[in-house]
Amino acid sequence: MALISLRNITKVYGQGDAQVIALDNIHMTISDGEFVAVMGPSGSGKSTCMNILGCLDTPTSGSYRFQDMEVTTLDQNQRALLRRNFLGFVFQGYNLLKRTTARENLELPLVYRGVPAKERHERADHVLELVGLEDRGHHTSAELSGGQQQRVAIARAIITSPLLLLADEPTGNLDSQRSLEIMNLLARLNEEQGITIVMVTHEADMAEFAKRVITFRDGHIAQDTAEAEAVAP
Amino acid sequence: MIWNTMQLALREIRFNLMRSILTALGIIIGVAAVIVIVTLGGGATARVTSDISSLGRNLIIVVPGKRGPSGREQGTPFELQDANAILEEVDGVAGVAPTATKSITVIYGNESWSTSIHGTNNGYMGVREWALAAGRAFTRGEERSGRAVCVIGETIRRELFGFQNPIGATIRADNIPCEVIGLLEPKGTATFGTDQDDLVVTPLRTFQRRISGNRDISMIFVSAAAAEMTTKVQNDIQTLLRQRRGIRDNEQEDFEVENLQEITKVVESTTGVLTALLSAVAMVSLIVGGIGIMNIMLVSVTERTREIGIRLAIGALERDVLLQFLVEAMMLSLAGGIAGILFGLFVSFWLSEALNLPFILNVPIVLIAVVFSAFVGIVFGFFPARRAARLNPIDALRYE
């Protein structure tokens, strides 16, 4: 079943002469359980596409269906509810809250969902174990290394059991060893938990972990391995 | 949820502790000012009221002369007959005490003391609601014969007798030997600064014969039988004395009939108006404090734009962010309000002691201060909070 379906998505920034077309009439379908890497040079529109997928930004025109829901007609609050209920985010800069322990960071999405304290603690224990940081729960972000921070960020994204995990260059700030750890973690989550992952990356090595690679160029989709396979005999 | 929000706000306040204290200072000062003004105003009113009523309830004072722009003008003194006429002809009079006064020096042993002596009758104690602490009042015989006996106030006892028993002793009042037969209960110092206990009371006849040498009455104390009757009694005395002193209808009287209840009312309404006015000024400083909170919340929203973006991305709704900043502003102003109340109560307690006023805790104004400071937080926190909540998540996340 198609989890995500983009049809004729266009995103234009600015007005008049300063107008920039970030996405030009994009079509994309992503099914449940896929692990998709989105590649392309900077300015190719891949981040814009991610933001639209994550309901953080709205397209100028086109249709975006999440499951059976038309997202483009939702208001800001409905989009926030959609993020709350179905999406998880991992950012390049980790985006953990300052002066807050790993555990508190993890529990925050659950706090917003009104999950009682006891269940929050249990689920935090569970995801900390999943990302291998059982003993780091009480450290603040400043006390964690970059790799550890990113693992906390991933744990925070999956603690709500989202349908879709959006990762924007999750290994962008990490050395190759840490990057591999993170990618293995994401691949495992995709395999074992069945979480659909869409990940933006610059690096071809990282894209190899994904089952499907979509390459953007100048606001168009230049290549999609899924379509290539379909076309190939 | 609300508990988590409060914890979060507390952490944010604690992290920016110095800034938070400075911000709350506006509220602290405003609330403290209101509390101090209202408490002291209430204390002053209570003090004046109790002082006036300590002169005697339902008391009417008749004095010769008229209060003019340049102080009291002299008027013809009253006569004893005027006082008797009031007692006999005016309805609703419970007691009349014609009184004459003179400044004298009293001597006992090696001690001497400058004071005033009041020549009056036994009714004086009743009219002024003044009980005896020891000894007895004058007898009929003493009043009629003008025996040299006297009742003294607490100050005289303290200054002349120290720890000795004054009853039965003989003091010299302007060289007239006078036996002390009674001691008045202490009344304390009045608001106007006069020591009410600094007096010697002697029968009127004794005073006229031995001390003043004339028959002038300088003051008539009258007590009405009931509080409701004071105004009527006051008017009747006015009419009666105008007649007796032969004042024509179109002429101003050369005496004054003062009703203590009226004076009390005037004092109460004056201090009330003054308190209200000063409170209004203090309220303005509360509003200024609120603007301070709004300012700092706006700074805080800008500083934490990225944090707001993260929160929106991981599941916060607009109202969650709105609530977070509202709660923070409210806690800031509420903490300021509570600190202001404590500070204000402390200052007013201390000032009450220093100014010798009763400390009257005004509970409603404390509650109003709490509610008002929380209200200030909500009103002035709303605009910054809404601004935070309306942030576009992607812009907030990209904010550096």
Per DSSP, the residues of A27-60 read EEEEETT-EEEEE--TTSSHHHHHHHHTTSS--S
Strands A212-217 and A35-39: parallel
Q: Which residues of A touch B397 (CB under 8 A)?
A: 56, 91, 95
**Nearest CB neighbour to A111, from listed B4, B318, B392:** B4
B4 to chain A nearest CA, in Å?
Answer: 8
User: A108–B311: do the CB atoms touch at under 8 Å?
Assistant: yes
pLDDT of residue A192 exceeding 60: yes
- The CA distance from A57 to B115, in Å, is 91
User: B313–A76: do the CB atoms touch at under 8 Å?
Assistant: no
| Domain range summary for chain B, segments of one domain joined by + | 2-51+265-398, 76-253
CATH superfamily of A2-231: P-loop containing nucleotide triphosphate hydrolases (3.40.50.300)
User: Residues of chain B with pLDDT > 70: what percent?
Assistant: 96
A230 to chain B nearest CA, in Å?
Answer: 35
**Nearest CB neighbour to B313, from listed A89, A98, A111:** A89
Query: What's the sign of the alpha-carbon dihedral B353, B354, B357, B363?
Result: negative
* Lookup: tokens for A55: 């309901």
pLDDT number for residue B179: 92
- The CA distance from B43 to B357, in Å, is 6
pLDDT number for residue B192: 59
b/e map of B241-271 (b: 16 or more CB within 10 Å)?
Answer: bbeebeeeeeeeebbbbebbbebbeebeeeb
* Lookup: tokens for B75: 């008027």
What is the pLDDT tens value at each position of chain B, 400 positions in all?
Answer: 778 888 888 888 888 899 899 989 988 998 999 899 888 888 888 887 777 777 776 888 898 887 666 666 677 888 888 888 888 888 888 889 999 999 999 999 888 899 999 999 888 888 888 888 889 989 888 888 888 999 999 999 999 988 888 999 999 988 889 999 999 988 876 655 678 889 999 999 999 988 888 888 989 999 888 878 888 898 899 889 888 888 888 888 888 888 877 777 777 788 888 888 888 888 888 888 888 888 988 998 888 898 898 998 888 898 999 999 999 999 989 899 999 999 999 999 999 998 888 888 888 888 888 888 888 888 889 999 998 888 888 888 888 7
ipTM: 0.88
A112 to chain B nearest CA, in Å?
Answer: 6
Q: Which residues of B touch A95 (CB under 8 A)?
A: 306, 309-310, 313, 397
Q: Which residues of B touch A84 (CB under 8 A)?
A: 315-317
End-to-end CA distance of chain B: 29
**Nearest CB neighbour to A99, from listed B15, B316, B392:** B15
pLDDT number for residue A1: 66
Task: Choose among A6, A29, A59, A54: nearest CA to A168.
Answer: A54
Residue B316 touches chain A, beta carbons under 8 Å = yes
Amino acid residing at B293: I
Residue B273 touches chain A, beta carbons under 8 Å = no
User: B314–A108: do the CB atoms touch at under 8 Å?
Assistant: yes
Q: Which residues of A touch B317 (CB under 8 A)?
A: 77, 80-81, 84, 112
| Domain range summary for chain A, segments of one domain joined by + | 2-231
